[in-house]
Amino acid sequence: MQYRTFFGQEISRLGFGLMRLPVIDGDQSKVDYAKVEEMVLYAVEHGVNYFDTAFPYHNGYSEITFGEIMKKNNLRDKVLVATKLFTLGMDSPDYNPKKMFETQLERLQTDHIDFYLMHGLHGDQWDTLVNKFDIKNYLKEQKAAGRIRHIGFSFHDSYEKFVEILNDFDEWELAQIQYNYLDNEIQAGDAGVAFALEKGIPLTVMEPVKGGNLIFPNYPAIEEIKAKHGLADMSNAELAFDYVYDNPGFMTVLSGMSTLEQVKDNIAIADKSSIGMMTPEMKACTEEIKAFIAGIENIPCTGCRYCTPGCPMKIQIPAAFNFYNTGKKFNNPDAQKRGYERECGNLADCVECGQCVKACPQHLNIPELLKEVRAYLE
């Protein structure tokens, strides 16, 4: 395993994301303990020491399961634990960051968290945490007490917001951003990476393979592009990971692993990685794949949601179009089916009233398009 140094500590280049763990009977709360334990032990034996979870992952069972595994196998001193304060639902009278942190320590069966992150900051969440919950002082107190070792945040908003949040708190020690070769110009993006580097804030990366989309299973057009650049033998996962490992701005690259096979593959890729490893051919190949994906025609829904409030059947029209577009882009409808079934199980209820068509500024023939979506995803 390769490592980078963070405040005098060696941190593995590959981090284990604990958000897509194997489950039993498709129930996200029933984490398959035996499989996860095998995966975690293999990862630790092969040098992975950064484990990333969060309050809501697997409805709390990610933290609980990892806590049990650490306890049973005496791993606490061998691993660094990152977890996150849930930042949705702050309007609710039940929202209580202090109580949440105590629960997390209990679930993880530990007396300290190595990296405590504010989860997925976007919009005015950080302002609310500061102004309504006095979070800055609370985090400083917990750090002084040794219960939090390092304070950070994960992020899903614009570059401008990223800069604003980073500049707003002197105690930030790391940030976690979404980054891969398709997403290097959205959210924090390359500009955010450069800004964090300049400020001396290390970054961890989430979604290096875009939730699995950059694996491109059975996608002849992608294989053709790779072959054209002399990369026919390189796996799509390796190309995506290498793109991220190449960047000097990143400390650790997180991968949400679901099988032992993925753990083994990702460790092998990390072992070969180095900063500046992308050859001109690899760079040209990722650029061509990016352009190819951007050029794929899709339903031109902007996600404005003008169509949904008046739908008598409460159909989640933009969500349905989004699942369809993503499936088409990555030639992988199967990867969309779980989310589609969860959010769009009622498309057949459309009564073709035409309300949505009148509301849509893009003049989409929504009832007809919904039929196309159903034919593709059902």
Q: Give the nearest distance from C-beta 338 to ligand SF4 in angstroms.
A: 22
Closest C-alpha among 133, 111, 129, 113 to residue 121: 129
From residue 20, give the alpha-carbon distance in Å to each of 14, 36, 52, 337, 359.
Answer: 16, 10, 11, 16, 37
Choose, by CB under 6 A, the member of 359, 371, 374, 376 that binds ligand SF4: 359
What whole-number distance in Å separates Cα of residue 84 and Cα of residue 151? 10
Q: CB-wise, 289 or 315, nearer to ligand SF4?
A: 315
- For position 360 contacting ligand SF4 by CB under 6 A, the verdict is yes
Q: CB-wise, 19 or 359, nearer to ligand SF4?
A: 359
Q: CB-wise, 130 or 359, nearer to ligand SF4?
A: 359
**313, HSE (Cβ side, Cα atoms, 13 Å):** 17
- For position 302 contacting ligand SF4 by CB under 6 A, the verdict is yes
- Could you tell me which residues come within 8 angstroms of residue 37 by beta carbon, excluding any fewer than 6 positions away? 69, 72, 73
What whole-number distance in Å separates Cα of residue 13 and Cα of residue 4? 7
Of 72-80, 233-241, 261-269, 350-358: span binding ligand SF4 (CB under 6 A) = 350-358
Of 35-43, 49-57, 155-163, 347-355: span binding ligand SF4 (CB under 6 A) = 347-355
CB contact burial 359-378 (16+ within 10 A = b; e otherwise) = bbeeebebbebbeebbeebe
Q: CB-wise, 151 or 317, nearer to ligand SF4?
A: 317
What whole-number distance in Å separates Cα of residue 164 and Cα of residue 169? 9
- Tell me the residue type at 272: K
Q: CB-wise, 217 or 310, nearer to ligand SF4?
A: 310
- For position 270 contacting ligand SF4 by CB under 6 A, the verdict is no
Q: Give the nearest distance from C-beta 320 to ligand SF4 in angstroms.
A: 9
Q: Give the nearest distance from C-beta 77 to ligand SF4 in angstroms.
A: 50
- For position 362 contacting ligand SF4 by CB under 6 A, the verdict is yes
Choose, by CB under 6 A, the member of 32, 367, 371, 374 that binds ligand SF4: 367
Q: CB-wise, 100 or 313, nearer to ligand SF4?
A: 313
Of 28-36, 66-74, 198-206, 295-303: span binding ligand SF4 (CB under 6 A) = 295-303
What whole-number distance in Å separates Cα of residue 55 and Cα of residue 95? 13
- Number of residues engaging ligand SF4 in binding (CB under 6 A): 26
Q: Give the nearest distance from C-beta 349 to ligand SF4 in angstroms.
A: 7
- For position 358 contacting ligand SF4 by CB under 6 A, the verdict is no
Q: Give the pair of three-digit tokens for residue 112.
A: 């300290």
Q: CB-wise, 241 or 324, nearer to ligand SF4?
A: 324
Residue numbers 304-323 binding ligand SF4 by CB under 6 A:
304-307, 311-313, 315, 317-318
Of 5-13, 34-42, 256-264, 346-354: span binding ligand SF4 (CB under 6 A) = 346-354
- Backbone angles phi and psi of 179, in degrees to 5: -155, 135
Pair 364, 303: CB distance under 8 Å: no
Binding mask 28-67 for ligand SF4 (x = CB under 6 A): ----------------------------------------
Alpha-helical (H) ranges within the chain are 33-45, 61-72, 97-108, 125-133, 135-144, 159-167, 189-199, 220-228, 236-245, 260-271, 280-294, 317-329, 334-343, 355-359, 366-377
- How many residues does the structure list for the chain? 378
- For position 366 contacting ligand SF4 by CB under 6 A, the verdict is yes
- For position 353 contacting ligand SF4 by CB under 6 A, the verdict is yes
- Could you tell me which residues come within 8 angstroms of residue 60 by beta carbon, excluding any fewer than 6 positions away? 29, 107
- For position 372 contacting ligand SF4 by CB under 6 A, the verdict is no
- Backbone angles phi and psi of 250, in degrees to 5: -105, 135
Of 33-41, 126-134, 172-180, 353-361: span binding ligand SF4 (CB under 6 A) = 353-361
Residues that bind ligand SF4 (CB under 6 A): 301-307, 311-313, 315, 317-318, 350-356, 359-360, 362, 364, 366-367
